[in-house]
Amino acid sequence: MSARARDVWVSYLRVSTPEQAAKDLSLPAQREAVEEYARRNGQVIAREYLESGCSGTDINRKAFRQMLEDVLKPGSDIGTIVVHHTSRFTRNATQARVVKEQLRKQGVKVVSVCQELNDDPIGQLIEGIFECIDQYESEVNGMRTIAAMREAVRQGFFPGSTPPYGFKANKIEVRAGLMRSVLAVDEHEAAVVRELFQLYVSNNGAKSVARELNRRERWYRKGKPWSKDLVLKVLEESAVAGTYWWGKHDAKTRRKKDRSEWLPLKVEPIVEPALFDLARRLRSQREPTRNPGRAPSPAMLLRGLVRCGKCGSSYTLESSGKKVNGEVYQYRYYNCRIACRVGKEACPGWRVPATKLDNAVLEFIVGVVCTGDRCSALLGLQQNGTYRAITDEAYASVQGAWSTMIRSDPTVARNYLHHLVEQIEVDENRITVVPKEAYRVMA
């Protein structure tokens, strides 16, 4: 027991989040019940701690913390905390036990108007049961809320509060009295998103994109300037390419949930999915720490695709025999397998430097992939099936970025290669790339 008499009564009143507040007893009603209870016991409430819009499972409730601080500080004269119902104090049974035990040691009581209990072992047992019920109810409510939200997403509605950048949440009345939100393109923000993607794929890092947008006075929301993190957030948000994923994080712990639990919500795309994809690939390329151990040896790039123009057998890697770093050959050549294994009598073969052959093939791929039409399609927004005109500068920069990506990322290059190329024939000073059937017209 503290030296000073703890004879002051205070109250703690709480209503939860707006959606749930309808079910809670209102603050004025809680206040009236609490004050009436104090009167019956010949007391007055000296101070009120008010919490609104806070869940009973939230451990960072402001008024709650303030109250505990006031109660537990040395020399405090607060001896009784009155709540309307134990569930107002906390909906976490463990927290209830810990905090109440801490208070009890200081000679402070927590009393509930609705659940008057004696301060004896039976009273404490019943109080513990009430606390468990409070937590159980909260968990069931939470599950109901989550289930309702998932159902809303399945029906194409946006149950969140803050739409991703580029979108706004439009309220619509589904049926009398039932309002739902749908994600719709916010034309002003969408224009900034397109600019942002354009800048990013034009060989700008996220930081310089942020700077450039700020220089152009194309602010983030509410006049807030762009930062590197905000730019990356937009680049990562798949909603801009047509799919918003709901439920990525646990609402309480903020931990990322397993992908299988995410729910897709189709929205009108702001940028071409191919542009979104390009930006994502560029990002992993510009930030190699994000995916370590990538970039397999370029020596494997053309494996299985090159044939000898003279004898038709496969081309293989012929090393110069010089070793660097134990295993990387400084000079690498491709040559006919038969010429290497059997000898010049079987096939004279033709030795071609690996980089020369790789580059010739990459050049072919870039020529097929990065055509003017495809670049404009990538950058120009599809609106009513038409492409927006783009500047030559923007077009050139996308072409440049795209071809850089293909050339410098063996994984990407190989994907395109196997998609586009049937075979590569090598003969004396002649490299012939045979495209797959579907691409023969284009090549």
Query: By C-beta, is 391 or 423 nearer to Zn ion?
Result: 423
Q: How far is CA 306 from CA 134, 206, 351, 362, in A?
A: 71, 39, 12, 14
Question: 232: buried, middle or exposed (CB in 10 Å: 19+, 13-18, 0-12)?
Answer: middle
Q: Which stretch binds Zn ion (CB under 5 A): 14-22, 284-292, 309-317, 392-400?
A: 309-317
Least distance CB 312 / Zn ion (angstroms): 7
CA 144 centroid distance within chain: 24
Cβ(231)–Cβ(196) below 8 Å: yes
Query: By C-beta, is 48 or 427 nearer to Zn ion?
Result: 427
Query: By C-beta, is 72 or 311 nearer to Zn ion?
Result: 311
Q: Give the total of residues touching Zn ion (CB under 5 A).
A: 6
336 binds Zn ion (CB under 5 A): yes
Beta bridge mates, 167: 185
List all residues 6 or more positions away from 77 whose beta carbon is below 8 Å from its beta carbon. Answer: 4, 5, 6, 7, 8
Q: How far is CA 346 from CA 305, 339, 349, in A?
A: 21, 7, 9
Least distance CB 355 / Zn ion (angstroms): 21
DSSP 256: B
425 binds Zn ion (CB under 5 A): no
Least distance CB 361 / Zn ion (angstroms): 19
Least distance CB 338 / Zn ion (angstroms): 5
352 binds Zn ion (CB under 5 A): no
Query: By C-beta, is 261 or 428 nearer to Zn ion?
Result: 428
Among 146, 232, 311, 342, binds Zn ion (CB under 5 A): 311
Query: By C-beta, is 347 or 362 nearer to Zn ion?
Result: 347
Query: By C-beta, is 310 or 374 nearer to Zn ion?
Result: 310
Binders of Zn ion among 186-215, rule CB under 5 A?
Answer: none
Among 168, 207, 310, 374, binds Zn ion (CB under 5 A): 310
347 binds Zn ion (CB under 5 A): yes
Least distance CB 358 / Zn ion (angstroms): 20
CA distance 229 to 249: 18
Query: By C-beta, is 240 or 308 nearer to Zn ion?
Result: 308
Distance in angstroms between the alpha carbons of the first and the last residue of the chain: 90
Q: Which stretch binds Zn ion (CB under 5 A): 251-259, 340-348, 368-376, 394-402?
A: 340-348
Query: By C-beta, is 165 or 334 nearer to Zn ion?
Result: 334
374 binds Zn ion (CB under 5 A): no
Least distance CB 356 / Zn ion (angstroms): 18
Least distance CB 372 / Zn ion (angstroms): 38
Per DSSP, the residues of 264-288 read EEE---SS-HHHHHHHHHHHHHH-G
Q: Which stretch binds Zn ion (CB under 5 A): 163-171, 273-281, 307-315, 430-438?
A: 307-315
- Spell 252-261 as b/e; 16+ CB within 10 A means b: eeeeeeeeee
Query: By C-beta, is 182 or 352 nearer to Zn ion?
Result: 352
List all residues 6 or more positions away from 320 whose beta carbon is below 8 Å from its beta carbon. Answer: 329, 330, 331, 332, 333
Least distance CB 440 / Zn ion (angstroms): 25
Least distance CB 443 / Zn ion (angstroms): 24
Least distance CB 310 / Zn ion (angstroms): 4
Q: Which stretch binds Zn ion (CB under 5 A): 71-79, 233-241, 296-304, 305-313?
A: 305-313
Query: By C-beta, is 114 or 311 nearer to Zn ion?
Result: 311
Q: What are phi and psi of 287, to 5 degrees?
A: -120, 75
User: Strands 45-52, 78-83: parallel, antiparallel or unpaired by DSSP?
Assistant: unpaired
Reduce the DSSP state of residue 106 to 3 states and report it.
coil
CA distance 347 to 427: 11
The CB-based long-range contact list for 264-268 (8 Å cut-off, 24+ gap) reads 265/153, 265/156, 265/158, 265/183, 265/239, 266/156, 266/242, 267/167, 267/183, 267/185, 267/239, 267/242, 267/243, 268/184, 268/185, 268/242
Among 108, 201, 308, 362, binds Zn ion (CB under 5 A): 308
Tokens of 313: 């057998």
Amino acid at 208: S
Least distance CB 433 / Zn ion (angstroms): 18
Q: Which stretch binds Zn ion (CB under 5 A): 103-111, 214-222, 268-276, 343-351?
A: 343-351
Residues that bind Zn ion (CB under 5 A): 308, 310-311, 336, 338, 347
